[in-house]
Amino acid sequence: MLKKIVAFCLVISTVCMLAACGKDDGKDTSKSDAKPTAEAVEKDELKKPVESNENTVTEAVTEAVTEAPEPTDEVSVPEADGKIVLEYPANMKAMGYTEPLVLDKKPEKVVSLSTTPVLCLNRLGVNFIAVPASSVVQWPENMKDVTTLQLAHNTNFDIETVVAMEPDLVILGYTSADTYGKVLTDVDIPVYYVDAGHTVSYDSIKLQTEVLINAFGKDSEAGKEMLKEFSDLEDKLAETAKKLDGKTYMALQSSPPSHYIQTNGGTLGSMADMLGLTNVYTNDAASMAQIDYETAIDLNPDIVLCVGMSPTGEGHKALMEEDFANNPEYWNSIPAIANGDIIYLPVYFISSAGINVIDHINELADIILAHFGE
């Protein structure tokens, strides 16, 4: 009986640790998790209000003027007095972050506990003293002396490490507002919240980038470059959508032998949607669910997109093919798989680290167009 109690306690502690991990994914990169959560649903809703603002935002930037046409837009601040004003993008405002964070001067010791804004801020010349360690992105050369923090398991991360660094700005995923955020504000360290959670959508990243450009590098070359990359991508996407119009896809996220199928709310799914493809699978409850083998066989997409934890596409291909070999009759009944209309993608398609989502979508577009011989 003692053993059962011990085992029971072990199970409970393991479950608690896992549950905590799933809940507190804020500081990590925009990784998608196996369990569909409410946050993922929220992301779907985020995308819609944003689209209406898109045009006005672009306008505001090209005008290079402080005033924005609509009050909901970001306001750029005259830098004459040296203050840095960090506004919140529309999606964050919708969650209650309405007051901008004002810093008296440009921060020199920035710590980011979220991977999403790092690349953008780095290009804007912001000086980091610590960023998260990421398995998905290689931080650039100029950041090689920056401390990397092991945030892989959030609930056990020691926030004191950050406090001890005496940062003048900490960037934090909003999901950790009640935990780490509170600790930091209690010791008067300025905290700026960014979107976080299982999937951070393209639109969210774009909005965030624009806000950061306005705060740190309005009119800067780097800022203009980044905005151009966004608009170039969107042009390309419009082109791609014409070519891929009508084609359907299935997005599988797998750790063989378990397979999860994504809706267009999942990271890979949303990217594919942006390319103009249509997802064969819909689910109102979650952006990702464990594959139901019996119904999946009837879905019949034109192409299957596979992603997993392998750093390379070939690596994932090897694992998937090994798993397919366990039940070839089944998998070959999905015509796309039997015909080789299947693309294997590396792990950074599960999650992206901020602005490099542009590169990834570009890459995906190229891969898929190449596959269809366009």
Closer CB to another protein, 292 or 366, in the complex: 292
In the complex, least distance from residue 42 CB atom to another protein, rounded to whole angstroms: 21
Alpha carbon distance 248, 273 (integer Å): 10
Tokens encoding 223: 């800022």
Q: How many CB atoms lie within 10 A of CB 67?
A: 9
Q: Which residues pair with 342 in a beta bridge?
A: 304
Closer CB to another protein, 240 or 279, in the complex: 279
In the complex, least distance from residue 329 CB atom to another protein, rounded to whole angstroms: 5
H or E, element range at 193: strand 191-194
Between the two ends of the chain, the Cα-to-Cα distance in Å is 66
Closer CB to another protein, 23 or 224, in the complex: 23
Closer CB to another protein, 297 or 370, in the complex: 297
Residue 128 backbone dihedrals phi, psi, to 5 degrees = -95, 145
Q: How many CB atoms lie within 10 A of CB 218?
A: 17
DSSP, residue by residue, 78-135? -GGG--EEE---HHHHHTT--SPEEESS--SSEEES-STTHHHHHHTTPPEEEEE--S
In the complex, least distance from residue 360 CB atom to another protein, rounded to whole angstroms: 18
Q: Tokens 């979220």, residue?
A: 114
In the complex, least distance from residue 140 CB atom to another protein, rounded to whole angstroms: 23
Q: Which residues bind another protein (CB under 8 A)?
A: 2-3, 6-7, 10, 13-14, 17-18, 21, 28, 31, 34, 135, 152-153, 156, 255-260, 289-295, 297-298, 309-310, 315, 318-319, 322-323, 325-327, 329-330, 333
Burial (CB count <10 Å: 0-12, 13-18, 19+), residue 369: middle
In the complex, least distance from residue 298 CB atom to another protein, rounded to whole angstroms: 6
Closer CB to another protein, 15 or 65, in the complex: 15
Closer CB to another protein, 169 or 350, in the complex: 350
In the complex, least distance from residue 256 CB atom to another protein, rounded to whole angstroms: 6
